Structure 1
Amino acid sequence: METRPVAVRLHPGQDLLVELERLFAQSKAGAGCILTCVGSLTTAVIRFANRPESATLTGHFEIVSLTGVFSPDGAHCHLSISDGEGRTLGGHLMEGCRVYTTAEIVVGLLPGMRFTRPLDTETGYPELKVETIKPDEE
C-alpha cells in the first residue's frame, strides 16, 4: 500500500509535538512518519543524547531537521535547530517547542502497518515494534 501524505501548517505559539501527536491521533492510522518540516521556533525543548532531563532554549531558531515515527502509543521524534549564528543543536523532541512564525509539515501515514512500543527488556525502554496488518484490521 502507498503512503498517504497529510500536510499541515502550524501557527505562532503552537506546540510542535502536541500538534503532531494530535494530527496523527485524528488520522486514526496505525503507523506514520515525518516526511518533511520547515519552520521556526521561539522555544525549543530538547533532550540531548544520553541525558535524563531536557533543556529549554529560548530565542529565534530555524528548524533544520525534524524526523520521527508515530504510533498509537506515541511519537518518537528528533529535532535539529540552528540559531542566528548558524550553531546547530539537536536531540529528542519534547513538549514545549513553540512555533515562531510557521511550521510547515508533511506527515506520511502508512496503511498496512501498525507501530507499537512495547517495553524492550534489553534496553529498558519502550521500543518500536513493526507489524504488517490486513486492510480489514486497520
Structure 2
Amino acid sequence: MKTFPLRLKPGQDLRESLEAAVREQGCQAAFVLSGIGSLVDARIRFAGANEPLLIRGESEILSLSGTVGVGAAGNAGQGHSHLHMAVANAKGEVFGGHVAPGCRVRTTAEVLLALLPEWVFTREADAATGYAELVVKPREG
C-alpha cells in the first residue's frame, strides 16, 4: 500500500478525478482514507433511491470515504468506484449517501488515497443483494 495525497481544483468532477488520479498512478484499486473540501451542486444518492438528490449551491464535504476501482490503462470509462460522503449546505443541513457523478469541486477537495497496486477492484452482480458488489482480485502481471 502506498499513500497518495492530492488536491482537486475548482470545476473538477470529484468521482472522475479520483478515478483518473488512481489510473495515473498506475493502479487499478484504492481506498479513500480521508476527504474534505467544497462542492457546487452536490449530487448524493440515498440508500434505496434510484436517482441522486441535487443539493443546489455551495456545500462543504464533511467526510469522504470508499473504494476507487478503475479499468486497466486505456479503459477510462471502466470505473468501479463506490464512494460515500457527508456534505453540509449553506444552512448547515447535513446530507449523506452515495457520491453520484457530477459533483463539481467549488474551491478545493483535499483527499488522501491508499493506492493498492497489487489489487484490482471490479463490480459483479450479487444474487443475494441484487446489486453489483465489490470483487477483489490480485492484479495479474
Could you tell me how far apart the structure 2 residues matched to 1:9 and 1:50 are? 31
Give 1:74-85 correspondences, 5 Å limit: 74-85=80-91
1:43 counterpart residue number: 41
Shift of 1:27: 2.3
Is 1:131 aligned to 2:128, yes or no?
no
Could you tell me how far apart the structure 1 residues matched to 2:4 and 2:26 are? 13
Is 1:66 aligned to 2:64, yes or no?
yes
Could you tell me how far apart the structure 2 residues matched to 1:118 and 1:40 are? 32
Is 1:115 aligned to 2:121, yes or no?
yes
* Alignment RMSD: 1.6
Could you tell me how far apart the structure 2 residues matched to 1:15 and 1:131 are? 27
**Alignment gaps of 5+ in structure 1:** none
TM-score scaled to structure 2, two decimals?
0.85
**Alignment gaps of 5+ in structure 2:** 71-78
Shift of 1:113: 2.7
Query: 1:24 is matched with which residue: 13, 22, 25?
Result: 22
% identical equivalent positions: 41
Q: Tell me the alpha carbon deviations over residues 110-131 of structure 1, each in whole angstroms, 9 at most, x when there is no partner.
A: 2433322121122222111223
Aligned length: 133
Q: Tell me the alpha carbon deviations over residues 34-80 of structure 1, each in whole angstroms, 9 at most, x when there is no partner.
A: 01111001110111111011121111111001111022352110111
Shift of 1:132: 4.3
